[in-house]
Amino acid sequence: RTFGTVERSSHERRQVTTIVDRSTNSTQRELATIESSSRNEQCGSRNPGSLACINRETNSKLSSIKCVEWMWQSNPNVFSNSEPAEWNHYSDVENLIIEGAYSNGESKAVLDEYYIDFKANLQISNTDEYKQRPVKRLVRKREDKHLREQRFVDLPVSTGRSFSDAYGWVPPFVIEARKYLKLEVKDLPSRNPKVIPMLIDKAADGIIQESKHIGKDNEGKELANMLKEQKNQGIQEVWKCCAFIYSLESFLYKTLNAAMRLVGDEYHDYVWRSKVHTLGPFCLFLWDDPYNSKLTTNKTLYRGANLNDEQIARYEEMSRDRSILGSFQAFTSSSRNRTKAEEFGNTLFIMEILIAFTADLSNITEYPNEEEELITPGVCFQVTKVQFDRKMKKSLIYLKLRQRFSSKQNIHLYFWESLS
């Protein structure tokens, strides 16, 4: 990836309307051209299998949720002998904080709203010591972790996008982050390691700032410290750490995607731009993937969603006009496992990848059974069919995904749902 492509695309945004040739020959030509230039120029060859694990020997925090899970009792009357006990999971970052304190032999772990008293096995409110709930510590295999519904069905903050300018394959959010950081065209961290320490400091500070907005100070500090521990590492280790942090169930991926999904929404343009200085550095690291340097082709991904009738009707409208394309402007989680995706929501997206950059997170995340694959921002989609499956009682929405590589492929974009 190069910022030069970004600038050319941005300069030519007004040249909109020509529809992309979707023929097989065109796809093959684009694939050969892009693989031999943009990605390889940036990254070089990929190291097979190096994504299999993060260097957990040098950062024990990253391994603590691999085998241990803390839970709190959630039924109304927790001290009743007649009421069945119900248990809820702590978030991944809370789990890291709790297990870290427990492993270090500390008497308690301090969260943002509560603290955990290890001697009494209680969760106690930071503001009212009489608000208490039992906690328990479970040791289990990584493969046994529960599936996360919200990560795969959460709807966008804004659905108010309509026809908009065409963007290139480098997301506007990344463009603005580069400008804010005053990086030169060739100053991606994968190409200029000297900028990595500065970017890590900026990314960590931004995470902490965002955490304070929502009262998650301790979670923000935990994530920031994890990132700072990679300050003297190369882009490979830094990216794996960022991907791991993104894969955690926390405020960070939700806040980042909520902001990026607003790109193209003229009524909320100021909102996503206001997040560039805090979330832009982390986004740049995550987008500058040194491992997935080859385009993904001939793969089908799935994602559940909860859509109302009006939203489904908009997709039906898109399916009747093949000249209308949608665009993922945020990082979009999907699954390679259709059965898993069918567990959630009243709608199933069936996404056929023609050409797109994706990242397999299943070897990084602590939820391998989700078979998560991340669709990178900038990927376009065409709605080919919408139908209702009476047996499943779900709407099925079929998409074809393709990367838009340069401004020479002018597309009349239709920004609608950005699935997460």
pLDDT at 95: 94
Work out the pLDDT band at 366, boundaries 50, 70, 90.
confident
In a domain, residue 214? The reply is yes
Binned at pLDDT 50, 70 and 90, residue 58 comes out as: very low
Q: Smallest Cα–Cα separation from 243: which of 293, 183, 290?
A: 290
225 shares a domain with 245? yes
- 170, 133: one domain: no
In a domain, 212, yes or no: yes
What residues form DSSP beta bridges with 359?
374
**Which residues, in sequence order, are bridge partners of residue 383?**
399
CATH of the domain at 138: 3.30.720.50
In a domain? residue 51? yes
Domain end marker among 109, 144, 179 = 144
Asked if 279 contacts 273 with a C-beta cutoff of 8 angstroms, the reply is no
The CATH number of residue 207's host domain is: 3.90.176.10
At a CB cut-off of 8 Å and minimum separation 6, what does 328 contact?
A: 375, 376, 377, 378, 379, 380, 381, 418, 419
Sign of the alpha-carbon dihedral angle for 97, 291, 353, 159: positive
Alpha carbons within 13 angstroms on the beta-carbon side of residue 50 total 15
Query: CB–CB of 212/219 below 8 Å?
Result: no
**Residues 116 and 174 placed together within one structural domain of the fold:** no
What band does 11 get if pLDDT is binned at 50, 70 and 90? very low
The verdict on 30 and 105 lying in the same domain is no
233 part of a folded domain: yes
Residue 29 confidence (pLDDT): 41
Q: 316 and 243, same structural domain?
A: yes
Sheet holding 332-335, edge to edge: 326-327, 379-389, 394-403, 347-355, 299-305, 332-335, 372-375, 358-360
The answer on 176 and 305 residing in a single domain is yes
Same-domain pairing of 133 and 162: no
- Min mean pLDDT across 45-49, 94-98, 348-352 is at 45-49
Q: What total number of domains does the chain contain?
A: 2
pLDDT at res. 22: 33
Domain boundary among the residues 144, 168, 187 is at 144
Do 176 and 196 lie in one domain? The reply is yes
- 39 in the same domain as 121: no
What pTM does this model have? Answer: 0.79
Whether 419 maps to a domain, the answer reads no
Q: Which domain holds residue 135?
A: 60-144
Last residue of a domain, one of 144, 174, 192: 144
Q: What is the pLDDT of residue 148?
A: 67
pLDDT of residue 61: 52
Q: Is residue 232 part of a domain?
A: yes
Q: Would the pLDDT of 56 be above 90?
A: no
State the pLDDT confidence band at 294, using cuts at 50, 70 and 90.
confident
- pLDDT tens digits, 105-157: 999 999 999 999 999 999 999 999 999 999 999 987 655 555 565 665 554 33
Same domain, 119 and 188: no
